[in-house]
Structure 1
Amino acid sequence: MSARHAASVALLAVVALATGFVLAGQIKAQLLTPSNQVARYQALVRSVQELEATNADSRRQIAALRGQIDSLEAEAAARSAETQALRNQVSDLRAHAGLVAVHGPGVVVDLRNGLAVPDAGGQTGYLINFQDVQDVVNLLFAQGAEGIAVNDRRITPLTAFSGSAGEVVIDQGPPQSSPIKISAVGDRNRMEAALDDPSALAGIRARQIQFQLHLTVLGSPDLSLPPYDSSLQITHVSPA
């Protein structure tokens, strides 16, 4: 074999070997591609699963926070309701104590001295006293009056009545005399029915017959009563 022929054979062998390596690399690359795709798919699946787990955990946290918010809102609403109830109670107590002005339907009772007795030299036969006023006030409160004023002076649960014939002293205020106007705000029909009841105010009814004591009742759709004014507490000095 000549040297030239040997060189040709060697060259062919080298080319064949190189071609084989190239073909082997291509075949290997083609064989690895599906495996890589599977790996990428599996990685994506794991990522999706991790995201779903994270989202599920976030949803649980959000649900827990919503539960806490609902609980706090319910607690705040309960406190608000309790606060409003207390405010309403305070308002009712203030109104009952006469500390605030009130208005609404009610009645006005007018009390006046009895007529003169013919043989008494023109003198009045009967003078209104504090017990007459107190009887009417007590009756009106018993019939649900929300507020009462006597001659525009507000009456409270602690109001004291005193005086002598012809004079009515409320608390420590100045003496009041006939005519006496008693205004009451509340259930108008109920108070009117009680005042018209012949069995109520028996003493006043008797004096109406005996001494022509004057008592009239007038209903009103809207009366206004002032609040109690403590500045009116002027010490009353009885005559010596």
Structure 2
Amino acid sequence: MPAPRDPAASMALLTELVRDDAAEEYAEAARRHRGARPARTTRVAFVLTCAAVAGVLALAVVQRQAVAPEAEKARQVLVDRVARTQEEIAALEADIARTRADLAAAQEVLLAQSDEGAALAERIGSLEAATGYTAVQGPGLVVVLDSADGTDPAATDDPGRVLDTDVQNAVNALWASGAEAIAVNGVRLTSTTAIRSAGAAILVDFRPLLPPYRVEAIGDGAALAVAFPRTTSGNELDDVVQQFGVKLSFEQATSLTLPASTALLPVRARVPSLGADTVAGSSASAGADPDAGTSKEAGS
């Protein structure tokens, strides 16, 4: 006969099951509680970091506002100084032009007194025109360079901006095409003229110029227009136009007037050697040694 079942044993098993489930729930709750602490700590650290960054930015803004008036004042001082210097340069250039006009008038009167003087005056006039010493007038070609559309004129790395090398190529192409005289934005070029850049500005004869750059050349306008793209410099400039969108235009002119150069022109030039007979005759009449040097330095 089987032994009777003990009711207490069945209840003990049920109690054990309930106790295990409750323990598991308590353990899970404890784990969640421990995991929540780092999250709150991270949020607090993030808030503190944002507050610190905001404080630094606010301090920088306050300092900038405090320094801005001084920076603007210094900038205005430089602007005023540049303006005064430009006025002084303009006055000096006007004085140079008046002095040159007086000298030319006196020279014309003196040289007109003999046939030799008239021939010499003609030669001097040709040399003065070629060296940029006097203004010249005649037909020619106008080449205009301008930056591509949408170009930032203050950005030195913008590929669409006209560079000093572009102006140089335009000038060299015109010289190679047979130009007799050239000016860029009214600045007459000579053998000593430099075309270079300074930041975003292009300097011609140390004068800052702004686009568009108008390059005027005296000569046969039609011949210059035909020869320009065939030169090496003209080809290089055309590549810039095709690649970066720099604007290039040509215009033939029936009459152009290029001013005299205000640059410091060379003050000494070498006189070509004279023939032996001429040297001997001149030396004999002057009572000098006919074997003296065949060339001399002459101040201009």
What's the TM-score, normalizing by structure 2? 0.44
Identify the residue that residue 98 of structure 1 maps to in structure 2: 132
Moved over 3 A (4+): 79-85, 196-200
**Identity between Structure 1 and Structure 2 (%):** 31
Return the letter of the residue paired with 2:203: V
Radius of gyration: which is bigger? 1
Identify the residue that residue 217 of structure 2 maps to in structure 1: 184
Specify which of 213, 225, 230 is matched with residue 246 of structure 2: 213
Identify the residue that residue 150 of structure 1 maps to in structure 2: 184
What secondary structure does 1:127 align onto? coil
Specify which of 133, 148, 166 is matched with residue 132 of structure 1: 166
Q: 1 or 2 for the larger relative contact order (CA 8 Å, sep ≥6)?
A: 1
Specify which of 207, 226, 233 is matched with residue 193 of structure 1: 226
Give the C-alpha shift of residue 137 in structure 1. 1.1
Return the letter of the residue paired with 1:201: G
Question: How many pairs are equivalent?
Answer: 147
Return the letter of the residue paired with 1:227: A
Contact 1:106 1:222 in 2 (8 A): yes
Contact 1:107 1:184 in 2 (8 A): yes
Give the C-alpha shift of residue 178 in structure 1. 1.7
Separation (CA, whole Å) in 2 of partners of 1:165 and 1:114: 18
Separation (CA, whole Å) in 1 of partners of 2:150 and 2:136: 38
List alignment gaps of at least 5 residues for structure 1.
1-78, 118-122, 232-240
Identify the residue that residue 112 of structure 1 maps to in structure 2: 146
Return the letter of the residue paired with 2:122: N
Q: 1:137 to 1:199 in 2, by over 3 A?
A: closer
Return the letter of the residue paired with 1:223: L
Separation (CA, whole Å) in 1 of partners of 2:263 and 2:233: 32
Give the C-alpha shift of residue 229 in structure 1. 2.4
Specify which of 155, 169, 188 is matched with residue 203 of structure 2: 169
What's the TM-score, normalizing by structure 1? 0.55
Q: 1:219 to 1:165 in 2, by over 3 A?
A: farther
Quote the RMSD (CA, aligned, Å): 2.5
Q: 1:209 to 1:190 in 2, by over 3 A?
A: same
List alignment gaps of at least 5 residues for structure 2.
1-112, 152-156, 265-300
What secondary structure does 1:201 align onto? helix
Return the letter of the residue paired with 1:197: R
Which aligned pairs between 1:51-66 and structure 2 lie closer than 5 A? none
Separation (CA, whole Å) in 1 of partners of 2:150 and 2:190: 34
Separation (CA, whole Å) in 2 of partners of 1:136 and 1:81: 42
Give the C-alpha shift of residue 80 in structure 1. 5.1
